[in-house]
Amino acid sequence: MAFKIASSPHVSQGLQTANVMRRVALCLIPGIIVQTVFFGVGSLIQLCLAILTAYLGEALVLKARKRPILVTLKDNSALVTASLLALAIPPLAPWWVVVIGSLFAIVIVKHLYGGLGHNLFNPAMAAYVVLLISFPLQMTSWVAPQSLALNGVDALAAIKAIFAIGPSFANDFYRLGLDGIAMATPLDTIKTDLSLGLTTIESLTKPIFDGSYGIGWFWVNLAYLAGGLALLKMKVIRWHISVGILAALFVCASFGFLISPDTHVSPLFHWFSGGTMLAVFFIATDPVTAATSPRGRLIFGASIGIIIYLIRTYGGYPDAVAFAVLLANMCAPFIDHYVRPRTYGHRSAS
């Protein structure tokens, strides 16, 4: 009997890469729907732009590398990468932001290292960090939730803003900042208020929180949690990384909250704000860039949770998911080197 050994990602069910990626994309749909409901159709426009750019970019690279184009495009990896990047970008960011990010993710991060299965870093998060550092204004101008927006952003207005059709809308959006269209995220609001001397209790009285974890953000995270649980149910991903992140983030946040509740938010606030659940189930679990053994995946996940907490609490970036994932990606080979499962039929090294 002949056996075929292929590069990662691997799953125990023997599913082909295309089927795995298709299931991941399908499980993103609940989060995409909720994100669109709360933050407008700009999210869908960014998604379409990212997917189109990713496929075109990958086709051009494959042609330049003299690799089969259609076969590779059908593995759906570009679809997942583009989707994850688009969902992390503000809905009304200019079109060229998501285009640059998608090309960087596919051409540089993925294919420069040899293609799927050979990249060291998560392509979507590497592209996100490059965009955040290069275009901080565009990458931090999130729209206000629909219930708080003074100026509603319908589909036509979103298209005008993204593609800069008519100078007034796009220019006013970035010049005026908080003008009823743009608004700081809950995590950014907390960090800014603490730097101004306010307590978390005082900050949480602002309209964006509405007495909870942030209007829209709680439901978005809940939707990605539901999609992640579906991935676990279908055994597309394993539980170790997700549990490691959530447990480490919960423990760290609990200590901080118990010691100083006036300057730290609750563990559940960390869980259901920003891109936590998207990272926990869809980003950090990328089998190519994560640790491989069960114990290694737990350590990998826990390291992400700790880094997220440290950057959110003491660093300059409010969300920190992308930075945490990339730092953990760098450590994955180190973790695998020292956390090796015992080979069947051999005694342990100890």
Q: In the predicted model, what is the mean pLDDT of residues 11-15? A: 53
Distance of CA 120 to the CA centre of its chain: 17
Indicate the DSSP class of residue 106.
Answer: I
Instruction: Flag whether pLDDT at 178 surpasses 50.
Output: no
Q: Average model confidence (pLDDT) for the chain? A: 86
Give the residue among 73, 69, 76 at the shortest CA–CA distance from 23.
76
Q: For residue 345, what pLDDT is reported?
A: 54
Instruction: Flag whether pLDDT at 160 surpasses 90.
Output: no
Q: For residue 298, what pLDDT is reported?
A: 96
pLDDT, tens digit, for every residue of 193-225?
888 889 998 888 888 887 677 888 999 999 999
Q: In the predicted model, what is the mean pLDDT of residues 132-144? A: 87
Q: Cβ neighbours of residue 44 under 8 Å, at least 6 residues apart?
A: 32, 36
Q: Is the sign of the CA dihedral 212, 218, 222, 228 positive or negative? A: negative
Instruction: Flag whether pLDDT at 179 surpasses 80.
Output: no
